[in-house]
Amino acid sequence: MKKPLLQVALDSADMATALQHASCIAEHVDVIEAGTVLAFAQGMEAVRELRKRYPAHRLVCDMKLLDAGEMLATGAMSAGADWITVGAAAHIETVSAAHQVATQMGGEVQIELFGHWTLADAKLWKEHGISQVIYHRSRDAKAAGVCWGQADLTRMKDLSDLGLSVSVTGGIVPEDIHLFREIDVQAFIAGRALTGSNGVQIAESFHQEINRYWQG
């Protein structure tokens, strides 16, 4: 299995703070994400700024879009995103429209797995060209004490087995990485762990753990 990437999610509402966080951590991550909070607060200017400053990084625009797939995907891809996120609850026509725009512009759609999604949905996404999903423990659920469990890992394995790469997020820390060693992980996505004061040290710990469990 390919080695998972490390992704930082920038979720400040304030542009200066987001850019300052990015400047501290960029060379320690593979992927930079304009988080939903930043994208809504600042609009696509946030994506343009990040693309300008980080021309070589993979750039994600975390819209979690649910409708108007063509328009929203066009906005994000034109601003410089490589990957854009679509909510699992979106109608398949929305997924498909976003996917077409993204791939025509050299990028990809990632499906954000919120709500009541099924493996039948996942197969449908795959049939429509999707190759990536993002498995969450929501920020609010984590804050309320909801943990990673065997049910999560089983579902992730099922998605891997369907041929979908799974990015993992939701308060992830280096000590969690080993849990996912059987999964085809696209990226581990962390926000506050990487944008805090010891973000670089934590990024190094993430890389150590990734290197321990994945080769290549």
**Which chain residues interact with a copy of itself by CB under 8 A?**
11, 13, 35-37, 39-46, 63-72, 75-76, 87-91, 93-94, 96-97, 112, 114-118, 136, 138-141, 143-144, 146
Closest to a copy of itself by CB, 93 or 161? 93
Residues contacting 17, CB < 8 A, separation 6+: none
Cβ proximity to a copy of itself: between 13 and 200 the closer is: 13
Q: What is the number of alpha carbons within 13 Å of residue 182 lying toward its C-beta?
A: 11
Q: For residues 100 and 96, give the distance between their C-alpha atoms in angstroms, rounded to a whole number.
A: 6
Q: Beta-carbon neighbour count of residue 94 at 10 Å?
A: 20
Q: Give the DSSP H or E segment for 125.
A: helix 119-127
The residue among 191 and 199 lying less far from a copy of itself, judged by its C-beta, is 191
Least Å from the CB of residue 169 to a copy of itself? 10
CB of 70 vs a copy of itself, minimal distance in Å: 8
Would you say 45 or 161 has its CB closer to a copy of itself? 45
CB 214 within 8 A of CB 1: yes
Rank residues 29 and 88 by Cβ distance to a copy of itself and give the closer one. Answer: 88
C-alpha of 147 from chain center: 19
DSSP string of 140-203, one letter each residue: HHHHTT----HHHHHHHHHHHHTT-EEEEESS--GGGGGGGTTS-EEEEEESHHHHSTTHHHHH
Work out how close the CB of 148 gets to a copy of itself at its nearest, in angstroms, rounded to a whole number: 14
Q: How far is the CB of 121 from a copy of itself (least distance, A)?
A: 8
- Cβ of residue 207: shortest distance to a copy of itself, in angstroms? 26
- What's the min distance (Å) between Cβ of 199 and a copy of itself? 19
C-beta closer to a copy of itself: residue 20 or 100: 100
Inter-residue contact 125 to 109 (CB < 8 Å): no
